Chain A
Amino acid sequence: MAAGAQTGSEYIKHHLTNLTFGRDSDGVWRLAETAQEAQEMGFYAIHLDSMGWSIGLGLIFIFLFSMVARKASAGIPSGLQNGIEIIIEFIDSNVKDTFSHKNKLIAPMALTAFVWVLLMNLMDLVPVDWVPKLFDLGGVHYMKIVPTTDPNVTMGMSLSVFFLALFFSIKNKGIGGFVGELTLHPFSSKNLIVKIILIPINLFLEGVSLLAKPISHGLRLFGNLYAGEMIFILIALLPLYAQWTLSVPWAIFHILVIVLQAFIFMVLMVVYMNMAHETGDH
């Protein structure tokens, strides 16, 4: 425990504060010194740590995979190539099972989402004090190294998926088909007047379910990782000799959560994309 003079609740709050760069109340662009200041910056702020770690992990993913792809051999594969082939085949078979239309974008996108989210989630297993302490010595006081515990990151990803789904929806069904799906479903009638009366009801129901998708998609990932991080931080409040009794079991359980949530993020994305391509009967 590195709390020192801090109380438990200050320690927790410190660990849950992002390194925020933004415009303060005087209109000056600078780093926020306290959580209070970060709050006041409001919309004109960016979480440097989330952005930095997520982009860095994305680059690691790209370079690792492209390096292996360039050196790939048809003979006996090396260990790394083997692992990456397993991941790619796993994603490929999952996308083939869930996605039943023709679109070259979906499988690479699923691979990116899965590996990227997995890498970001894996940062959760780094002991909570190591990296922040290191940055603290360098003069940076806030550092949150798990990008997926920042709702901005997860909601950003789920909103990108949402807009992509809207784009493919309109592209494949046309504006008419898209609007029709929102207004003439689930309640439908042969009678034209009843049909018109039912439009607002259908629009409400379908609108809610349409908007609930990206929100639950992003918040599910955020909530799981936030809860996991929260529990790791609480364990770090225990005396040093007792920490392993709780942190080891929780870390082992958390490995399951990390992989599962990355996988679910990917599967839901493919399912939404599949729904956007359905041009079927309705």
Chain B
Amino acid sequence: MSEPSDDFEDLFENAPCGYIVMGADGRICRANRTLCEWLGRSPADLGRKRPHELLNIAGRIYYETHIAPLLRMQGFFHEVALDLVAGGGATVPVIANAVEHRDAGGRVRYTRIAFLMATDRRRYERELLKARDAAQDALRKERHFAELREQFIAVLGHDLRNPLAALGGGVQLLSRRPKDEIATHILAMMQTTVFRGVALVDNLLDFARARLGGAFPLERRSEDLIPVLRQVVEELRTAMPHRVIEERYDIAGPVNFDRIRIGQLVSNLLANALTHGAQDQPVRIEATAEDALAISVANAGEPIPPSARERLFEPFFRGDVRPSGQGLGLGLYIASEIAKAHGGTLDVTSSQHETRFTFRMPLPDTTSGTEV
């Protein structure tokens, strides 16, 4: 067995890491055999060099601007990635740790730096960075396309309105002319279809607009709400003449709201109730205004399962209760956005007894008179 001192000598020279000692002048005074072998240089070759001379140009700048100051300030550095340059010009990727040894006066006597070969680790890290950059790039492109798609939806929705309006006008003209029973029936169905088409396009347009950066701009005025509700109900009765809609209103005085938007909200709720509720039972609409305005629409029929209830107001959510797959799943989303834009809420309760959607909106102190 050899002397311990020999063992330490061997440990230094043939350690599984590269090792250099720099003197007080910042020049290498000793480099171990491991490092010399990695770099294909002799110990004499490395002696008197400054550590940045072992690096490529980028590493030198980095060493001088970051690493050397760090070493002076905290007396060590840990886990710094560097590329050593071998004699033949090849690079040896390493991770370096260093520690300064200072005398009692705080002057640096020598600095030790250990290098761990890190070819695979550094390659892996670079690949991760590349993957991150690629992901960010893909996300940017995808966002751009998403915006284009939404613009497309907005334009498409807008352009679909005119032919739908022409169809609706035609159906109404024909309804006023003498016709037989079959024609009456077909025209009523067409009326329903046109109405649904218009509602779908309106919701689609609103969705695209909201996604393109606009919230729902409101044009609020203080006016009577009941005529607005009656008109919406009338439209749906015309569209679905065989269904019963019961109305109960208790609102005194004007309310501050956007008539088009609230009309749309109520229309979405009613259309939903008529479509998804029990077909042989009435749909009820109630509106009251005390401390807050509350408009609710209720229907009988299968309750909405709790799992679906949580996601009802998300865009494009179409529960799995209806295999017929009517609509885009935007109606409730748009309705809840309209509610929010009014500073209000849209909630749902659902039981065996009934399913009820309620829009609530706080009312300002109405005693102060008409609002602007």
A is bound by B: no
